[in-house]
Amino acid sequence: TNELSNILQRKDLNIVNAMELVDVVKARLGTMRESGWNNFFADVQGFCVAKSILVPNMDDEIPVRGRSRAEGRTITNLHHYRAEIFYVAIDKICVEMDHRFSEGSNIILDCFSCLDPKNSFSKFDVDKLARLADIYHADFSDDDRGTIRDQLETYVLQVRRNASFSTCEDVQSLAMKMVQTEKHLVFPLVYKLIELALILPVSTASVERAFSAMKIIKSKLRNKINDVWFNDLMVCYTEREIFKSLDDIDIIRTFTAKKSRKGHLPRNFI
């Protein structure tokens, strides 16, 4: 699950990669539950030996947890560690995966993955993309839903013939190329789908970052900060990597050029 966790925490989240990794992780968890105990136990044994940790005998019997010892019910260490810990842990992860990536979410992600421009838009599916207009009915009018199929069919034929789109590797680069070639004006409904794909919250990582930033910025000593100033500080903090790349001199000059001021900048700033 490490690869899936890493990709879900990235700001430039690739929906197609996320979808593929979700399916792979679910399959690997199922395989691990069915036949992964022996390898897992061997790894644990090796770790315990290296750290001088006593490994219990798996054939020894222990009282059943949660039961009175007077009942005399026992189980082996093997059953306890494999069935009550190993299997239960994997089952909980699977349940959490199903909760995070429910059937409805997977349908939406699967539909958006059809926008992937790789291999000359090989995953492009008009039916699935048109279905998104019904799912996001608030963003598309009745007329839009009636014409989006024709626009999608025309769009895919044109971009497949346009050599400049062959360099697109993901939805982000596709959106940029659409704007550069002004195709977003020719195919506004398709571009709206691309915009929805880019803002789709596949994970809560970005939201969690925002809440963490709120706690740092709006402290007890700054609890009366107004909303506008607070929003500006939030943008600067959450996108600090972008702001670090900006030149302070350019910012000062831009701010000064907005209107005439009583004070003047030193000559080395002009």
Give the tokens for residue 175: 């959106």
In a domain, 123, yes or no: yes
Residue 269 has pLDDT above 80, yes or no: no
Claim to verify: residue 80 and residue 141 sit in the same structural domain: no
Claim to verify: residue 175 and residue 209 sit in the same structural domain: no
Specify whether the CB–CB gap between 140 and 133 falls below 8 A: yes
Claim to verify: residue 86 and residue 28 sit in the same structural domain: yes
pLDDT digits (tens, 9 = 90+) for 149-176: 999 999 999 999 999 998 888 888 899 9
* Distance in angstroms (rounded) separating the CA atoms of residues 247 and 255: 13
pLDDT digits (tens, 9 = 90+) for 61-106: 888 877 666 777 888 999 999 999 999 999 998 888 888 777 777 7
pTM of the complete model? 0.57
Q: Domains in the chain: how many in total?
A: 3
Average pLDDT of the residues in 43-55: 93
Claim to verify: residue 11 and residue 85 sit in the same structural domain: yes
Specify whether the CB–CB gap between 22 and 4 falls below 8 A: yes
In a domain, 42, yes or no: yes
Q: Which of 177, 199, 221 represents a domain boundary (last residue)? A: 199
3-state secondary structure labels for all residues of the chain? CHHHHHHHCCCCCCHHHHHHHHHHHHHHHHHHHHHCHHHHHHHHHHHHHHCCCCCCCCCCEEECCCCCHHHCCEEEHHHHHHHHHHHHHHHHHHHHHHHHCCHHHHHHHHHHHHHCCHHHHCCCCHHHHHHHHHHCHHHCCHHHHHHHHHHHHHHHHHHHHCHHHHHCCCHHHHHHHHHHCCHHHHCHHHHHHHHHHHHCCCCCHHHHHHHHHHHHHCCHHHCCCCHHHHHHHHHHHHCHHHHHCCCHHHHHHHHHHCCCCCCCCCHHHC
Specify whether the CB–CB gap between 58 and 86 falls below 8 A: no
Higher per-residue confidence, 241 vs 2:
241
Tell me what pLDDT residue 151 has.
95
Place 203 in a pLDDT band, splitting at 50, 70 and 90: very low
Claim to verify: residue 6 and residue 93 sit in the same structural domain: yes
* Distance in angstroms (rounded) separating the CA atoms of residues 164 and 117: 12
Reported residue count of the chain is 270
Q: Which of 199, 217, 240 represents a domain boundary (last residue)? A: 199
Claim to verify: residue 154 and residue 219 sit in the same structural domain: no
Residues in Cβ contact with 54 at an 8 Å cutoff, skipping those fewer than 6 apart: 48
Q: Which of 168, 199, 230 represents a domain boundary (last residue)? A: 199
Give the tokens for residue 108: 């939406």
In a domain, 142, yes or no: yes
pLDDT digits (tens, 9 = 90+) for 213-263: 787 888 777 778 888 888 888 888 878 888 888 888 888 778 777 777 666
* Distance in angstroms (rounded) separating the CA atoms of residues 92 and 98: 10
In a domain, 188, yes or no: yes
Tell me what pLDDT residue 15 has.
62
Higher per-residue confidence, 133 vs 265:
133
Domain span at residue 38 reads 2-103
In a domain, 57, yes or no: yes
In a domain, 110, yes or no: no
Claim to verify: residue 157 and residue 222 sit in the same structural domain: no
* Distance in angstroms (rounded) separating the CA atoms of residues 109 and 7: 15
Give the tokens for residue 242: 């972008």
Conformational region of residue 201, where left means phi above 0, alpha means psi within -120 to 50, and beta covers everything else: beta
In a domain, 111, yes or no: no
In a domain, 108, yes or no: no
Give the tokens for residue 212: 């963490």
